[in-house]
Structures are given as C-alpha cells and as structure tokens.
Amino acid sequence: MSRPPFRVAPLDAGHDRAVFDSGSAPLDRYFREQVTQDIRRRVAACFVALTKERRIAGFYTLASASLLLADLPASLGKKLPRYPTVPAVRLGRLAVDQMFKGQGLGGALLADALDRAARSEIAAYAMLVDAKDESAAAFYWHHGFISLPDSPLTLFLPLATVLVASRVIMSPSVAGHCSGLAN
C-alpha cells in the first residue's frame, strides 16, 4: 500500500501559510492573519493537511460550543438530559487549497475532524457547523449532518454516530488520502 498523499497535523510555526489559496478571500485571510491568535488564546485549534513536501493542502478549525436543547429536532432533544444546552464541538472553518480540490480532501478533513471530536476525552454531544451558503450546507448534508429546524444553515451531527459510522466514513478510499488521523 502506498503512503497517503496527505498527513494531518496541528498547525505550527513551521508551516508556511502564505501560499495557501482556497479561492475564498475571508477564509484565506483568516488562515494567514488570525488563526495563530485564536490558537494562542485557546479559542480554536487548527489542523492542516500536509503534502510530502510539507505544503498545506487544506485546514480546519475546531472549538468548543454548545447547542440549545430547544433548537434540536424534538425527536432528538427528548432523548437528552433536560439541561438548557448540550456540549458540542464547532467546526469553525474548513478549506482546501485550489490546487488540491477535487481529490476528496475536504471529505477526508471532515472525517478527521469528526474522528478527533468523537475520540476526545472531553464529552460533546455533536459536531456543529455554520454553513456559509447552500452549497456548503449540501457538502455537510452529504456527510450526514442535520439542519437545525429553525436555522437550516446551522447543521449538526451527533458524535455518538461517528464511532459507529467511522468504518464507513474512513473507508480505504477516503482514509487513503490522509494519515495521522486524530494524532
């Protein structure tokens, strides 16, 4: 079996962010100018997909969050404790460099983020994401995320389903894209 083309690792000072170009000016600006401040302030963690040459092919950020119990679909909310909020992990940003689009890297990064959140020792009910538009929401719907009833661009995926589904999500075709998952 050949080595996966990408390795996922926490962002560090040795990674060159200057040439990263996702095609989205706000995402690129955040990645170049703000992400290290968020890491230093401990409001987000950033993980990057690296090529063998250590070029950044994609990234995502994770942060703690909460979901209002009342915002969840009634069928799921009634199965949870009656706290006003339930803990969640927010996938704040996910981007792939234009040079690497169309290779399944976005899905592989999402799978890595889900795996990392589900295996954390800190409990969380779901992964939460705010899609920037319908196209982004379609990406998350494709991967099993559910829209909040009153906010269709805010989506979540219960993390209890991730460990069970990880056998499917991390099939050899997807897992072959990245190594170092949840390290």
CA distance 77 to 142: 23
Own/partner long-range contacts of 161-164 (Cβ < 8 Å, ≥24 apart): 162/114, 162/115, 162/117, 162/118, 162/127, 163/118, 163/119
**Average pLDDT over the chain, rounded to whole?**
88
Q: Which domains does the chain have, with CATH numbers?
A: 6-174 (3.40.630.30)
* Percent of all residues in the chain with a pLDDT value above 90, rounded to a whole number: 72
Q: Which two tokens stand for residue 54?
A: 């250590």
Dihedral over Cα of 154, 159, 164, 170: its sign: positive
Q: Catalytic site residue 83?
A: no
Model pTM? 0.86
Q: What is the pLDDT of residues 86-119, one digit of tens each?
A: 999 999 999 999 999 999 999 999 999 999 999 9
- From residue 177, how far is each of 13, 74, 97, 180 by CA, in Å? 24, 37, 15, 10
pLDDT of residue 84: 83
Q: Cβ distance 24 to 98 under 8 Å?
A: no
pLDDT in tens, 131-144: 999 999 999 999 99
**What's the rounded Cα separation, in Å, for the pair 46 and 27?**
13
